[in-house]
Amino acid sequence: MTDYKAPLRDMRFILNEVIGLEKHYQSLGLADITSDLIDSILEEGARFSETALAPLNRQADEEAVTFENGVVTTPTGFKEAYRQYCDNGWASITAPTDFGGQDLPNSLATPFHEMTMSSNLSLRTYPGLTEGSILAINKHGSDELKNTYLEKLIDGTWSGTMCLTESQAGTDLGMLRTKATRNTDGSYSVTGTKIFITAGEHDLSENIIHLVLAKLPDAPSGSKGISLFLVPKFLPNAEGQPDERNAVTCGSVEHKMGIKASATCVLNFENAKGWIVGGEHQGLACMFTMMNDARFQVGLQGLGIAEMAFQGALEYANDRIQTRSLSGIKSPDKVADPIIVHPDVRRMLLTQIALTEGCRMMSYYVSTLLDKERFETDKQKHKENTALLSFFIPIVKSFLTDAGQEVSSLGVQVYGGHGFIREWGMEQLMRDSRILMLYEGTNGVQALDFIRRKLLGDNGKALNGFIDQINQFCDGYVYDDTKIKNNNIGGLITTLKDVLIEWESLGMEAIKAAQQDPEEIGACSVDFLQYSSYAVLPYFWALMATVAQKEIEAGSNEADFYNSKIITATFYFDRILPRTKMHKHALLSGAENLMKLNAKHFAF
C-alpha cells in the first residue's frame, strides 16, 4: 500500500497564491493569523497524518471494530492516535475560546481535515461529529449545557454524536418514533432506537454525548414536531465528571462494506435522561447547524479518498512495467516500459488529478465562505455570503463524494488485477468512499435540495449571482469582445463564458419546467446538480491556470509545477467538461420518460 504524503505544495498554491489567505483574514479582522501560522499548521498536520494516522489505516481495516456485550473496541493503535490528536490541539482548532478552543478559521482547519481523511478516514470519523455537536450546543444550548459539556467536548475528553436515523425514518425525519417526556426537574426522558450512528459507542473518550431527535407527546405532526435533546452516556456529577450510567446502550454495530474501523451503531434509549437543546419543536433547525458542517466534512472525505487513490495510482503507474510505448521504447534499460507511457493510463491519471485538484480548490474556496459566515460583521455581506454558502453545500457534498468514488475506481483500474487484491490497498479506498454518497443525505437528496431550495427557492438569484461573479473574473482577462489578454488561457476563458450562458439558461428552463409539473423537480435534479458541478470546476481551474501563467511569465523557478496546472486545466476543459452536454440533454428530456412506465411493470 502506498505511503500517504500530504500534497503540501498544491495546498500552499491554492491557499496562498490563488485564494490569498492572509488578505482574506485581514478583510475579516483576523490579521494576527500570519503566513507563519498557516505554514506551521500545514507542516504539523502533514507530519501527524503521515506518521500517526496513515500507518494504522490498512491494519485497522483488516481488524475492524469489535462488539461484545454492548462494548465497542476500536482497532489497535486508535486510542493512542486519538489521544495524540487531542493533546496536539487538533480537536479544538475551530472551537470557541470561551471553552478552551482556538477559534481559528475553517479555512485553516480544512487542509488538515483533508489530510486526516486521506490518511485514515475511519479514525477521522470519531472526532468529526464532535465538532458538529460543539457547533449545535454552542449556538442553541443553554448556558448550563455549555458550561457542563463544551470544555470536555472541545478538548476531546468527551466525544459527540448526531442521532437522527431510525429504521423507518431516514430522509423523512417527520416519521421518527423516538419519544421524549418532560420530567419535573426540567430534564426529559428519551425512549427509542436510532440506527447508523457513527461513533455511537467506542473506547476512545471517557463519555459520549448524544444529540438525539425525538418528539414530545404534544408535538405537531411531521418534521415541525421534532425536538433536539442532549443525552450523555454517563450523567455528569456535581464536579462535572462522568458518574451514573445513563439508560442508553449499544445494541449492535453494523458489518459494513467500508470504513470498518469506524463504529456504526444501533443505539437504544430507554427513558434515558436528557436535556433539550434549543426550544421545544425546534429540533430540526438546531440539527441543521450540525448537518451543514457534516455535509461539508463528508465532501472533504471524498476529496481525501481521491487524493490517496491518485497517489497510489501514480506510484504504481511509474513502477509497473508492461509492454512498450506505442511510439517507441522509452526505457531501454528495462524489458518493458512503465505503464504511465500508455495513453489510456494517462487518461485515468489525468482524470484523477483534474478532479482531485479541482475539488480541492472548490472545497478550500467554500471554507472561506464558512469563515465569512462566522466572522463577517457587515450584515449585507453576511447575508449574501450565507446565501452563496447555502448554494455550495449540496455541490460540495455530492460532487466531491462522486469524485472520490470515481477517482478510487480509476485507481483500481490503473492497478489492474492487483487493484482487486486487498493487500495493495486500493480496493479499500473504493469501499471506504462508497458510503460518502449515502450518508448525511444521499446525493439524490442533495440534488433535490439544490433545485428546490437553492434554485426554485430564490428563483435563481444565488445561481445568477455566482455566474455574475465568474463573469467578472472572465472580463478581467478581456480587452474587448474578441481579444483575450493571454494566449495560453484565452481558450479556457472563452469556453468558460460559453458555459456560463448555457448554465444560466438551463437554470431558467429548470425553473419553468418545475412550475409547470412538480415531477420535473425530481426528474431533472440530479442532472442539473451534476451539470452545475462540472460548470463550477472550470472556473476554479481557470483561476489556478491564470495564477500559474503569471508565475511563468514572471520567470518562476518552478515552471514545471505551474505548467502542470495549465496543462491539467486544459485537460479538464477538453476531456471532462464535455460531460455537461450529456447532463444537459438528460435534464431537458423531461419527466415523462421516467414516470410513464407504470410501477407494476417494474417486474421480474
**Which grid cell sits at 278?**
434549543
The CA distance from 514 to 517, in Å, is 5
- Tell me, what DSSP letter sits at residue 440? T
CA pair distance 169, 147, nearest whole angstrom = 33
User: Is residue 208 within 8 Å of 200, Cβ to Cβ?
Assistant: yes
Instruction: List CB contacts of 512: < 8 A, sequence separation 6 or more.
Output: none
Say whether 36 sits in a helix, a strand or coil.
helix
Supply the DSSP symbol for 339: G
Beta carbons of 583 and 527 less than 8 angstroms apart: yes
Which of helix, strand or coil describes residue 567?
Answer: helix
Task: Quote the pLDDT of residue 287.
Answer: 83
CA gap 67, 422 in Å, rounded: 23
CB 490 within 8 A of CB 483: no
pLDDT at 177: 96
Residue 586: Cβ within 10 Å count:
17
Positions marked catalytic:
440
- pTM for this one? 0.97
Q: Chain-wide mean pLDDT for the chain?
A: 95
For the chain, the first-to-last Cα distance in angstroms comes to 42
DSSP characters over 168-235: TBSS-GGG---EEEE-TTS-EEEEEEEEEEETSS-SSSSEEEEEEEEE-TTPPSGGGGEEEEEEESEE
> Residue 480 has what pLDDT?
45
Q: Which residues of the chain have pLDDT under 70?
A: 478-487, 604
pLDDT in tens, 539-584: 999 999 999 999 999 999 999 999 999 999 999 999 999 999 999 9
The conformational region for residue 599 under phi > 0 = left, psi -120 to 50 = alpha, else beta, is alpha
> What gap in Å lies between CA 205 and CA 159, rounded to an integer?
6
Contacts of 323 (CB under 8 A, 6+ apart): 336, 337, 342
pLDDT score of 478: 59
What is the structure's pLDDT at 484?
Answer: 54
For residue 457 the three cell numbers come to 427557492
pLDDT at 289: 83
